[in-house]
Structure 1
Amino acid sequence: MATPREIGMELLRDFADKLAKQVQDELGISAAKAKAFAEDAAGRLADDWGGQTVYLPMDMIGRRSTRNKQIYREFNGDNQSELALKYGLSRQCIYRIIKEQGELRMPKQASLLNLDVTSPQDHDRA
C-alpha cells in the first residue's frame, strides 16, 4: 500500500502531466515549455501546501454549476436520456437539474417582461 508521501508525489506528477498537456493543447506552446511551466506550478503547490492533509472534493460546486447550466442549454424538450448518458447521470437527475435551472431563470425572465411572479396567496396577505 502506498504511503501518504507516495500518494502526494503521484498527485503532483499527475497534476504536472495534465497541466502540461492542457497548456500545450490550449495555448499552443512547445512540449518542453509546457512541461517546465507545469513542473513549476506543481512545485509551487508543494511549497504552499506540502505537509498538510488536504481533501480534494470529487465535484466542486463551480464545476457542478457549470455542468448544470450546460445541461439546461443543451436540453431540447425530449433529450433527457441522451443528456443522462453524456453526463453520466440518471434521467431523474437530469429532470431535477432542468427544473432547478428553469426556476433560477424564472425571476430574471419575469422581470425582463415586467411580470409579477408572486402567487395569489402572496397578494391576499398584502
Structure 2
Amino acid sequence: MKQGSILAETRHELLDDIAAHTATVLSEHGIDAALAEQAGHAVADHLATQWRGATLYIPSDYRHQLTKRDLQILSEFNGRNHHSLARKWGLTPSSIYKLLKRTQDRKFERDQGKLDLGDGLA
C-alpha cells in the first residue's frame, strides 16, 4: 500500500471516529440520535476544513487527560516520593520528575499572572 493511501485511510478513520464519538456522547446526553449523528458529522467536517493541509501528531498523553492526572500527581507529591508515584501511575521516575517540573512551572507562570491556561491549576 502506498504512503498516500495509508495516510488517506488513517485520516478518514480519524474523522469517522470523531463523528461517531461525538454522536455517541450527544446521544448519551439525551440528544435525538439522528440529530446527534448530524452534529457528529458537522464536527468532523469542521475539523477537516479548519485543519486541512496540516500534519498533526497526537501524543498518547494529550493535554486534557494529562492535566487531571498531573494535578492529582502534584497533590500526592511530598517532595521525596517520586518512585512510589511512578509505580502507582505506571510511569518512570524520570517521567515523574519531568511531569512535576512541567506542572510546577505552569503553576508558577499562572500564579505570576503571565498565563491563564484554564487548566485548573490553582
* CA deviation string 1:25-74 (max 9, x = no partner): 3x332333221111111122233334x1422331445654443223213x
Q: Please, which runs of 5 or more residues in structure 1 have no aligned partner?
A: 109-126
Give the aligned length.
99
CA spacing shift, 1:43–1:99, aligned 2, 3 Å: closer
How far residue 22 of structure 1 moved from its aligned partner, in angstroms, is 2.6
Candidates 17, 20, 28, aligned match of 1:17: 20
Are 2:56 and 1:55 equivalent residues in the alignment? Answer: yes
Identity %: 25
Question: d(CA) in 2 for partners of 1:96 and 1:47?
Answer: 35
Q: TM-score, normalised by structure 1?
A: 0.55
Mark the structure with the bigger radius of gyration. 1
Residue range with higher mean Cα deviation, 62-71 or 41-50: 62-71
Matches within 5 A, 1:1-126: 1=1, 3=5, 4-25=7-28, 27-50=29-52, 52-58=53-59, 59-60=61-62, 64-73=66-75, 75=76, 77=78, 80=85, 81-82=87-88, 84-85=89-90, 89-98=91-100, 101=103, 104=107
Question: d(CA) in 1 for partners of 2:10 and 2:101?
Answer: 40
- Which runs of at least 4 in structure 1 moved beyond 6 Å after TM superposition? none
The structure where helix makes up a greater share of residues is 1
User: Which residue matches 1:118?
Assistant: none
CA spacing shift, 1:97–1:36, aligned 2, 3 Å: same
CA spacing shift, 1:93–1:49, aligned 2, 3 Å: closer
Q: TM-score, normalised by structure 2?
A: 0.56
Question: d(CA) in 2 for partners of 1:44 and 1:17?
Answer: 14
Q: Please, which runs of 5 or more residues in structure 2 have no aligned partner?
A: 112-122
* Root mean square deviation of aligned Cα: 3.1
